[in-house]
Structure 1
Amino acid sequence: MSEEEGFKEFFEEHYPSLCIFANRYLQNEAVSADIVQEAFVCIWSKRECIRGAAAAKSYLYKYIKNHCLNFLRDRKRHQEIIKERVESFDFYRDILVEREVYDIIYHAIIDLSFQQQQVIELSLDGLSNKEIAEQLNITINTVKTIKQRAFRALRKVLTPSLFVLLCILGEN
Structure 2
Amino acid sequence: MQDRSLQKHWFKQIAEGDETAFRSLFETYWDHLYTVAMLLTKSETLSEDIVQETFLKVWNKRRELPEVDKPEGYLFIIARNQIYNLMKQQQREIKYRKYVLDWFEAANETPENDLLFKESSQLLHRAIGQLSSHQQTVYKLTREQGLSYEETARTLNISTSTVRNHMVNSLKIIREYLKTHTSPLVFTIAMLETLK
Query: How does the TM-score come out when normalised to structure 2?
Result: 0.44
Higher relative contact order (CA 8 A, sep 6+): 2
> Which of structures 1 and 2 has the bigger CA Rg?
1
